[in-house]
Structure 1
Amino acid sequence: MRIDVMFDTVCPWCFVGKRRLTQALARRPGVPLDLRYHPFLLNPDMPVGGIDRAVYLARKFGGTHRARRVLEAVSMASQGTGARFNFSAIRRMPNSVGSHRLLRVATECDRTDETLDAIFRAFFEEGRDIGDRAVLDDIAESVGLPMARVQAEFARPDGFTDVLTANARAHSMGINGVPSFVFSGSYAVAGAQEPDVLLRLIDLALETQVREPVTVS
């Protein structure tokens, strides 16, 4: 079964959603799985060097009080998933394109799951700037990615554009929020849904044969 996930590495709900998907899939062991992650940029106009986190939150949520309430909701939702958040440690809101490029290498090396977890932990638990190439290199080394391939990706002229193209493709599909999950090219749901909700869609995708499913490139 193919599952396409549209997400961003700076999206806390995506961290929660990934863990809830893992919990749902654990209840269907043995299911042949083709799990693919696709970039969706929450902040496509973010400067390459990022911006101050407090400034970002104030702009996005209209003030620190409202931002605090949203982040508290994320922390509450993460209970029982193993995802932890240390929002006070985050000083800079990064540009996430580089982290998506690192995940491209991870996918080629069949190390997507551990690499994505490492990126999420670095940002949300440790407050590290995942827009910084040195931080991304540290993450790559920590999960055993071949550094020559990482260097080749970041030297690739089309690498940045590829992420923007994937983001545009997600928008063209009608995706306007993340995480979004598409099961077998036919059944979609948005948001960090509870494992039971995801499990129902997994079962539906397993039970239903679709002759011409719509797939994500």
Structure 2
Amino acid sequence: MTASAKPARFYFSLRSPYSWLAHRDLTQREPKLAAALEWRPFFEPDRISSRLLAELGGTFPYTPMSRAKHLYILQDIGRISAQRGLRVTWPVDRDPVWEVPHLAYLVARRKGRGGEFVAEAYRARWEEGHDICDRAVVGEIATRIGLEARELAAACDDPVMRREGAGCLMEVCEDGVFGVPFFVQGRRRFWGLDRLPDFVAHMSGSGVPLRSVPGLPASAVGLGSRAVDDGHAGGCG
């Protein structure tokens, strides 16, 4: 499939606060577009996923965050969240395995509940401060959206889901994604929270037909409305 023939994509990470804010802006202000995009996970691979990705010929594009950048993000997210009337509850990640929530998302997506899983996972992490790499937390999220807790909590133990996850990371490599949130349509790429309005405007004038995806209801809100431009790069690895 050529780049222009692929559906428009939204690369997100449940780890990233900028992805969380982009998800909120996109689903609340541009729900028709949100329902039309292909949602693809971006997550730091563990040893198993790294090996599977290497077998596919890919290398994950991740650079460790400096202390200065980390401190800046703490301040920046607090500022941007306050502008939206949101209160962040910062989670503590202790030896996180990001396959736990992201492969659970892939299971939820197979069952038509991907969008619901992402919304609940973001709420659990950024509004309630839970560790979403804790299998018990993932199980609770699954129960909230009407799915079987054990299946989603154990997704990262399933070799089939492991291979599917590695395939998602290979898509990250093929699309040239280096951080999140990241939006792709054809050969056009938009990185960061503050590029969301530009992506919306691009899609509005692109003539690309929108298709609904399961797990995220579309509304009558059109593409013409514009999200707030916060003047910030709004992307992280």
Q: Which TM-score band (shorter chain)?
A: 0.7 to 0.9
Q: Could you tell me how far apart the structure 2 residues matched to 1:145 and 1:82 are?
A: 31
Q: Could you tell me how far apart the structure 1 residues matched to 2:34 and 2:72 are?
A: 39
Structure 1 residues not aligned, in runs of 5+: 49-58, 210-217
**Which of residues 84, 88, 104 in structure 2 aligns to 1:85?**
88
CA-to-aligned-CA distance 1:130-184 (integer Å, 9 cap, x gap): 112111111100111244753784553232232133113212321111111123x
Q: Could you tell me how far apart the structure 1 residues matched to 2:101 and 2:94 are?
A: 15
Greater strand share, structure number:
1
Q: Could you tell me how far apart the structure 2 residues matched to 1:47 and 1:78 are?
A: 35
Q: How does 1:53-92 map to 2 (within 5 A)?
A: 60-62=65-67, 66-79=69-82, 81=84, 84-87=87-90, 89-92=91-94
Change in 2 beyond 3 A, CA 1:98/1:147 = same
Q: Is the 8 A contact 2:135 2:153 kept in 1?
A: no
Change in 2 beyond 3 A, CA 1:37/1:135 = same
Structure 2 residues not aligned, in runs of 5+: 1-5, 50-63, 210-237
After TM superposition, give the deviation of residue 32 of structure 1 in Å.
9.9
Amino acid at match of 2:190: V
CA-to-aligned-CA distance 1:49-85 (integer Å, 9 cap, x gap): xxxxxxxxxx73225xx52322120222234556542
TM-score by length of 2: 0.67
Q: Report the equivalent of 1:19.
A: 24
Q: Could you tell me how far apart the structure 2 residues matched to 1:44 and 1:95 are?
A: 8
Percentage identity across paired residues of the two chains? 25
Q: How does 1:185-196 map to 2 (within 5 A)?
A: 185-193=186-194, 196=197
Q: Report the equivalent of 1:52.
A: none
TM-score by length of 1: 0.72
Q: Could you tell me how far apart the structure 2 residues matched to 1:126 and 1:4 are?
A: 28
Change in 2 beyond 3 A, CA 1:165/1:138 = same
Amino acid at match of 2:193: A
Q: Is the 8 A contact 1:103 1:112 kept in 2?
A: yes
CA RMSD of aligned residues (A): 3.2
